Each structure stands twice: as structure tokens, then as C-alpha cells.
Amino acid sequence: MAAAIGVVITEHIVAGLLQEENGQMTLAGEHLRFPADPAETDALIGTPTNELYELLAEQIKPLMLASAHPVTAIGVAVPGVVRSGVVQDAPNLAQIKGLRMGEALAAVLREQGVEAPVHILNDADSVAAGLASRGGNLDRLIRVWTLGNGIGYGRWPIADGVWEGGHTVVTLDPRENFCGCGGVGHIEGIMGNRAMRLRFMDMEPEDIFANAQNGDARCREFVDLWHRALAAGCATAIHLGGPGRFYFTGLNIRFLDTKLLREHMEKMVRMSPLQSYSLEVLPADDAISILGAGVAALRAQQEW
């Protein structure tokens, strides 16, 4: 019987045990979370890497002990550019940039008596992998946008490439320079929490959208821009990879108006063969990401 552990780092850390059931990987038991309070969204920003490894080990070790079968893979999903086991960049978790995180975490785990290969992947890719696995569609193209502190673009099957869709350029306005990576005109520079706070120095993101509903002209204009930015990202993905289904999840789907998003996309995607796309909002669910991280780690191990 196969067993794996999935771990996801976004605004928080979540981890869960995966076990095989009727030929399919499923979550076994409750998943673990740090910090425990969902209202804490900045707890990991600035956490030193050695403390971060210890926090991860604290989530992983009890799951290893709880498994009825040997754990053969640990998947850890992180926000940023991940290639060949190296976190090449991570604007929203800067302390992990440049790390061979899988090797370092595996070493910390070995010191605590835990032996299993660690596979690192992008957090949005873990959502796409989880959706594909849960629906039994591991052979189909899945695309997902994660809306939170950063903006992630996930794809399954995972293919060679960077796939940092949140840094797609959607405006040529040189004043649009709020992206955490320093780039101009990016989706994340409009939609990300950091970007919204910089743009509206006296408001939190939820205040912006609430004020827009109450008729504030500046906030209403921004809410329209927020949706146009996401529409542009989806339209670009369609023009490059074809139509299909797009999923949206994450902390800030509470702000998403799919009717307004579709209205903007209809103006951007005009060629009839590309118009058979669909949009689906998924409640933020850590279980999907955990499942995807574990499944991706098992798949990666089979390919090694």
C-alpha cells in the first residue's frame, strides 16, 4: 500500500497523510496546520529558514508516525519558481529563494529519524495536481489560478517551464509597479494583497471591495481593474494553450465576481475556436493542495 505526505506553504503551513484506497490516493485523517489561527496570514513572512525547516518537520514527523504503511515520498509545495529541486525565486517568501529546499529539509528530517525523499513543487501546481487526482483526471489538462498574498498559476500535468502566470504582463502603464518581484505591469502587481495594500495605503483588501460595493468611485474603478487583470491572464493562457476549464481558488476568491470576469474575457477572446472555455470557483480547501503535493511527489519518484 502506497503512502505519502503532502505539505503546502502559502500564508500558512498545512500537512496531511495520503494513503492508497481502492487504487486511488486519499487523505487519511485530519491535516495539521500552522499557525492554528486562520486569521494569521503573515506568520511565515520573515521566518528564518532554519526555523522554517523545524516548523515543517514538526508537521511531518507525527504524520510519519501515524502512517500504517511506510511513507515513500514527501511533497512540499511552495510559492515561487521551482526547477530541479531549487527554489529559484519566491517573491512572497523571500527567505527560501535560492535554496535546495528538498535536500535541506530531508537532512533536517534525517536528524529526527525520518527517512523519505522530499520533492519540491510550486504551490499552484499542487492545487492543479490535487484537482486532477481527486477527479481521476490525471491524464487531462488542468489549469488553476490561486488568489491570495500572491497570484499563482498551476498546471497539471506539470510540464517543463517556469509557469509563473501571476507575473504575466497585463498592462503597459509604467506606474503599475506594485509587484513583489519588482516587475512592471504584472497581474500580481494588481491583484496580490501586498500590491493592493501599497496602492491603497489606508485600506486592507477587504475594505477596498466593501467600499466599492458601497459606491466609492476609486474603489469601484480598482475592482474593475482587478477583474480585467485576471481576465487578461486567462485570455493569454487560452491564446497560448487553447480553451478549457479554469479553476479559481485561494484566500481571495471571496472578491471574485465570475460574471464580471466573463464579461471582460468575452472582449479579449474573440476567435470562435477559442471560446469554449469555462470558469469554476472552488472554495479554498487545503485538502486539495495537500493531496496534489503528495501525488506529485509519488509521480516524481516513479520518474526518477
Q: What is the pLDDT along the chain (304 residues), one digit of tens a residue?
A: 789 999 999 888 999 999 987 778 888 888 999 988 877 777 788 889 999 999 999 999 999 988 988 899 999 999 889 988 899 998 888 899 999 999 999 999 999 888 889 999 999 999 999 988 887 666 778 899 999 888 999 988 877 778 889 999 999 999 999 998 899 999 999 999 999 999 999 999 999 999 999 999 999 999 999 999 999 999 999 999 999 889 999 889 999 999 999 999 999 999 999 999 999 999 888 899 999 999 999 988 776 4
d(CA 19, CA 29): 10
Instruction: Considering the domain delimited by 3-129+285-303, tell me its CATH architecture.
Output: 2-Layer Sandwich (3.30)
**Would you give the distance in Å from CA 34 to the centre of its chain?**
17
**Would you give the distance in Å from CA 15 to the centre of its chain?**
14
pTM of this structure: 0.81
Which segments of 135-285 does DSSP mark as H helices, in order? 188-191, 193-199, 205-213, 217-241, 258-268
**Would you give the distance in Å from CA 300 to the centre of its chain?**
19
The amino acid occupying position 55 is L
Residue 300 in grid coordinates = 516524481
| CA nearest to 73, candidates 63, 86, 58, 88 | 63
d(CA 227, CA 289): 24
Residue range(s) in the chain whose domain bears CATH number 3.30.420.40: 3-129+285-303, 136-281
Helix, strand, coil percentages (3-state) for the chain, rounded to 5, are: 40, 20, 35
232: DSSP letter = H
Q: For 136-281, CATH number?
A: 3.30.420.40
